[in-house]
C-alpha cells in the first residue's frame, strides 16, 4: 500500500560497478512505489559507470571528485587525501541544499564521503552490503550508521550485530518476471527456439578469462549446436565481434553490454557467470542452471565465497578462474546436455532467492525516517 506520509527526501550514494548501481536503483524504485512523491537524489563518483546508468534509470545524480586507493604508487594516490577532503566538503553542501530525511550507502567510493558528512549531521543512515565479504567503505561506515542491510548470514565479523538486518540483495524488478518473456527474448536477440542458448556474462565490465575461454572453445559450442548470447565488456568486444561475423549463421550474438538482462535470462537455458553478489542474487531469482567462474581479482577472494555458498547447496557448478581455459567450455557443454542436472540446479538455486529484498530494505529505511 502506498505510504500516505509527506514525500520522503532520500540520498542514495555509491557505485563504481553494476553490482553497486543496480541494487541502488532497485531501492529507489521501491521507495517510489511506497511513496510516489519521494524525492531521490543519487551521489556517485565522477567518470564512473553510475554517471550514465543512473540517469538512464530516470534519476538525478551528482558526481564527487573521488576514487579509490591504487595498490601501487600513482599520482592518483598522492591526490587521494585532497579528493577525500574535497568530497566531504561537497557532500556537506549537497546535504545542506537537499535536506534529506535519510541517506543510503551501497558501497563504492562515493558512499564514504557522503555518509560521513550525513552522519556528522545526525541524519539517519543505512548501508547495504551486497557481498559475503564486506567492502572497505562499508566497514569504515558501520560504526556511524543506524542500520546495515546484508545479503548473507554471519556478517557479525564485519558489522555490529545489533545493526544487522538480513534482507538479501535488491535486484531490478523486471528480472523478477523474466521467465514469462521467453518469446519476446528470442525475438529481441534474433535467435531460434529450436536450439538451446548459453548466456555468458562476466559482470558489467566483462571478464577476460571467461571471454578468452569462450573464444577458444567457440568451435565446440557451434558444433554441439548451441546458440550464444555473450556480454564481453568493452575491452574484448572487437575481438568477439570478429567471431560473431565468422559464425553469423550459427546464432552467436555478441554485446559489450546488455541493457535488457531480463530478456537475456529469459532466453538462456544455461548461464556462465562471474560470482559477483548481484549476479548471484539475480540467478537465484531467475532459477537458471549456472556455471560460476569467480573473479580472482577481488578483495579477500569474496567471489569464491559467494560461489561456494551455492555450490554447497548443489545450486551451481564452480570452475576456478585459473582452470577456465581448460574446463569452462567442457563443463557448460556437459551441463547443457544433462536435463536432469539442469533441473536439480534450477530447483536448488530458486530456494536461495530473496525476492522481497528491496521492500525489506525500504521498510528499514522508513522506520529510520519515522
Annotated binding site for UDP-N-acetyl-alpha-D-glucosamine: 17-19, 131, 172, 204, 258, 303
- CB neighbour burial string for 118-130, b if at least 16 within 10 angstroms, e if fewer: bbeeebbbbbbbb
Return the closest-CA partner of residue 275 out of 325, 326, 319: 319
- Mark the binding-site residues, compressed into ranges: 17-19, 131, 172, 204, 258, 303
List, as one string, the DSSP characters of 119-133.
HHTT--EEEEE-SSS
* Collapsed DSSP state (helix, strand, coil) of residue 33: helix
Per the DSSP assignment, residues forming a β-bridge with 230 are: 200, 254
List, as one string, the DSSP characters of 179-242.
GG-HHHHHHHHT--TTS-EEEEE--TT--HHHHHHHHHHHHHHHHTT-EEEEE--TTTHHHHHH
Q: Which three cell numbers stand for residue 262?
A: 531480463
Return the closest-CA partner of residue 369 out of 58, 11, 115: 11
Contact, 202 vs 171, CB < 8 A? no
Q: How far apart are the first and last CA of the chain?
A: 17
Contact, 130 vs 19, CB < 8 A? yes
Return the closest-CA partner of residue 133 out of 311, 275, 313, 338: 275
- CA 137 vs. chain centroid, Å, equals 17
- The whole-angstrom separation of Cα 129 and Cα 152 is 9
- The whole-angstrom separation of Cα 327 and Cα 319 is 7
With residues binned 3-state (H G I as helix, E B as strand, rest as coil), the percentages for the chain, rounded to 5, are: 50, 15, 35
Amino acid at each position: 500500500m502506498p505510504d500516505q506520509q509527506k514525500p520522503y527526501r532520500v540520498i542514495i550514494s555509491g557505485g563504481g560497478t553494476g553490482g553497486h548501481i543496480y541494487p541502488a536503483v532497485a531501492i529507489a524504485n521501491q521507495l517510489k512505489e511506497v511513496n510516489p512523491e519521494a524525492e531521490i537524489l543519487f551521489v556517485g563518483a565522477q567518470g564512473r559507470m553510475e554517471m550514465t546508468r543512473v540517469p538512464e534509470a530516470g534519476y538525478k545524480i551528482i558526481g564527487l571528485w573521488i576514487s579509490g586507493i591504487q595498490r601501487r604508487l600513482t599520482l592518483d594516490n598522492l591526490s587521494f587525501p585532497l579528493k577525500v577532503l574535497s568530497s566531504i566538503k561537497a557532500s556537506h553542501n549537497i546535504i545542506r541544499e537537499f535536506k534529506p530525511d535519510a541517506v543510503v550507502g551501497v558501497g563504492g567510493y562515493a558512499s564514504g564521503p557522503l555518509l560521513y558528512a550525513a552522519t556528522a549531521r545526525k541524519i539517519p543512515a543505512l548501508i547495504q552490503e551486497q557481498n559475503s565479504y564486506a567492502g572497505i567503505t562499508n566497514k569504515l561506515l558501520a560504526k556511524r550508521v543506524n542500520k546495515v542491510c546484508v545479503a548473507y548470514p554471519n556478517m557479525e565479523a564485519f558489522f555490529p550485530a545489533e545493526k544487522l538486518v538480513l534482507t538479501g540483495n535488491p535486484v531490478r524488478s523486471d528480472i523478477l518476471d523474466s521467465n514469462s518473456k521467453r518469446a519476446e527474448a528470442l525475438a529481441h536477440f534474433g535467435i531460434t527456439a529450436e536450439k538451446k542458448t548459453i548466456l555468458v556474462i562476466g559482470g558489467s565490465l566483462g571478464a577476460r578469462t571467461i571471454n578468452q575461454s569462450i573464444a577458444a572453445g567457440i568451435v565446440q559450442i557451434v558444433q554441439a549446436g548451441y546458440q550464444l548470447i555473450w556480454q564481453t565488456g568493452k575491452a574484448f568486444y572487437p575481438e568477439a565481434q570478429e567471431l560473431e561475423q565468422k559464425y553469423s549463421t550459427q546464432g552467436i550474438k555478441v554485446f559489450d553490454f546488455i541493457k535488457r538482462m531480463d530478456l537475456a535470462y529469459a532466453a538462456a537455458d544455461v548461464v556462465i557467470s562471474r560470482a559477483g553478489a548481484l549476479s548471484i542474487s539475480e540467478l537465484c531469482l531467475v532459477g537458471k542452471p549456472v556455471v560460476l567462474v569467480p573473479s580472482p581479482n577481488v578483495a579477500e577472494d569474496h567471489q569464491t565465497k559467494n560461489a561456494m555458498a551455492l555450490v554447497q547447496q548443489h545450486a551451481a557448478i564452480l570452475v576456478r578462474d585459473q582452470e577456465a581455459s581448460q574446463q569452462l567450455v567442457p563443463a557448460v557443454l556437459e551441463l547443457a546436455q544433462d536435463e536432469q542436472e539442469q533441473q536439480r540446479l534450477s530447483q536448488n538455486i530458486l530456494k536461495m532467492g530473496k525476492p522481497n529484498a528491496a521492500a525489506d530494505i525500504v521498510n528499514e529505511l522508513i522506520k529510520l525516517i519515522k
